[in-house]
Structure 1
Amino acid sequence: MRELLAKHRELVRFALVGGTSFVITLTITYVLKFTVLRTHPVTALIVGVLIATIFSYVANREWSFRTRGGRERAHEAALFFLISGVALGLNALPQWVSRYALHLQVPHVSLVGQEVADFVSGMILGTLLGTLFRWWAFKKWVFPTEGARPESARNDNPDIPDRKAA
């Protein structure tokens, strides 16, 4: 099991960052949805995803993809947030369809039915769709070059000799 985890370290770290981002999204979305954005659930979801995306950039850059790079930092950040914007749209799309195309909202369904539909469409389907897109796009465009930042890998791995000590 350890060998499998080591082989897929980036994916495991990406998943942990994603899980934390999911909790951030969920918390912010529902706090907003049940307080100041009661009549704007898709907006609440978008705000939650935006805040989680900022956390995600820092965590993915410095931890998940810490040895990847290949771009100047400003270019990398711009691509990250552009791709995250596309993913945000993909994340919100299922909830938008649920609410406004399928009318899975009060008064057409019960409040419980509405909340279950919002959770499944926005938090589950939307998050899954956005996450799959991000994994592919981040590796392809944002952090394309493996081993581009070996200094940070050296700091985390005692098996890699430090140039300064030599």
Structure 2
Amino acid sequence: MSSVFAGHDRIIPAENFGQIREAAQILAAARQDAAQSQATLAAAGEQAAQHGYRAGFEQGVRDAAARLAASLGKAEQEISNLDGWIETVVLKSVGLILGSMEADERTRRLVRHAISQTAGAEEIALHVAPEDAAMMARAIADLDHRITIEADPLMSSGEIVLETSAGRSQIGLKDQLAAVIEALVHG
């Protein structure tokens, strides 16, 4: 069977023109379907890429949060361990400092510090154990004319109570160390 279009004539006979027109319409529809399919495929690919990116990003955030939580837990543990170490170092340091001082000098410094906190008081009484009264008198000699020493048989050696018109304060070495320890332990 020979083709109607086999010749190289540029003139299309009218009886064949309908077929060419129908073929052109079919070709245009096929191109349109192909373009729609290509657009749908591109949109699906973009959506899949976005979904994959979002899922990967969310997983990355979860992983980073887990690593951060683990790091924070480790840091808290190390800080907790460090707190005990600091307390030990501070207490040993205080012990070395106080141990290197003469008892009179330690007492003098404790009393001087306590008196500096009560600058407005007219009279200051130091209550001490009877066995500490002589040492206290030597330690505070010429320190402040407002100070009187009162021996209290109910007090233990090393205890010192500072009394002013504002009230009474425990200022002995043990009390000062207890305050330091309390501050270290409880902030």
TM-score by length of 1: 0.32
Structure with higher Rg: it is 2
User: Which of the two has greater strand per residue?
Assistant: 2
User: Which of the two has greater helix per residue?
Assistant: 1
TM-score by length of 2: 0.29
